[in-house]
Structure 1
Amino acid sequence: MLIVDDEPELVELLAVAVAEAVWQPFRAADGYGALRIARECEPHVVFLDRMLPDLDGPSVLRRLRNQSDSRHGRILGHHPPVTPGAATSGPHLRTLTTRCRRPRT
């Protein structure tokens, strides 16, 4: 799973949560980093922030879809904004881990 957000605390909390759900988290703090990492690791899931310092989330999404050849199973975004405390507790965490189940092979 690739986690793309420019808030390091949120990225780390989400990485811990997805690691507990048996996913290997990859991290990117900006859009260009996300595109580079996605080419290298071919994630099944991308958790993508809408507002990044270099490219906005929708631009990253378009580029991921163009470069992917359908390699990325799901691309998720978080809106309304998720605070670090909410991201790893209650319904937000359950929703994230439920939507991020590995695709069937």
Structure 2
Amino acid sequence: MTGIGFLKRLLGSTATHERVTPLRLQAPEGSRVLMVDDSPTLLAVLGKMLDQEGYAPLKAFDGESALELARDEQPAMIFLDIVLPGINGFAVLRALRHDPMTRDIPIVMISGNQQATEQFYVQRFGADDFIKKPFGRAEVTTCIHKLVLSGRLAAREIAREVVPVRMTEGGVVPETTVASIAA
């Protein structure tokens, strides 16, 4: 416990500070997400993030294999690096947008280059979003959230808790309350 925390507790402060995480909409669980980057480290980290969120990550290390996987697997979305061996990310983006089988897949471009010109070309060639490297889980989930909100990705069903109720003389009460009253 920190010194300030100890003093607050000692003086009887009842104020608590909780970090509230806003609800982020997600794509359906099990959705395939294609990640295209020549860095095995980035693919491993991004893949782990996506896996922990319930997605099925697919990996491609270059543009040619990305095009093939996109056509064969029909992923729900694609994270596509701009700088790739062989065909660069812009050429892959253009090819995906011109192919009737892949033209509607949401594509998020990723790059470590800080130049604003890349963002301009990404939008001009039809990418849905752009994330600068290095990025974390918050940027990935925010990006997916925006794609769901815009209608580009289907939304995951949000589980709702169903509480059984029972009618009593006092009105409707949850089952757990009825059990504790009866005891």
TM-score (norm 2): 0.49
Aligned partner of 1:93: which letter?
A: V
Change beyond 3 A, Cα 1:35–1:50: same
1:98 and 2:130 matched: no
Change beyond 3 A, Cα 1:29–1:54: same
Q: Please say if residues 31 and 56 of structure 1, whose CA atoms lie closer than 8 Å, have aligned partners that are also in contact.
A: yes
Q: Structure 2 residue aligned with 1:82, among 119, 133, 136?
A: 133
Deviation at 1:71, TM superposition (A): 5.6
Give unpaired runs (5+ residues) of structure 1: none
Cα distance in 2 for residues equivalent to 1:23 and 1:71: 21
Q: Structure 2 residue aligned with 1:13, among 45, 63, 72?
A: 45
Give me the identity figure in percent: 30
Alignment of 1:1-105 (within 5 A): 1-69=33-101, 72-79=104-111, 80=114, 81-83=132-134, 87-89=135-137, 91-99=138-146, 101=148, 102-103=153-154
Aligned partner of 2:86: which letter?
A: D
Give unpaired runs (5+ residues) of structure 2: 1-32, 115-131, 156-183
Cα distance in 1 for residues equivalent to 2:88 and 2:34: 16
Give the aligned length.
100
Could you say which structure has the greater relative contact order, defined with CA pairs below 8 angstroms and 6 or more residues apart? 1
Instruction: Find the structure with the greater CA-based Rg.
Output: 2
Aligned partner of 1:19: which letter?
A: D
Which structure's residues are more often helix, by fraction? 1
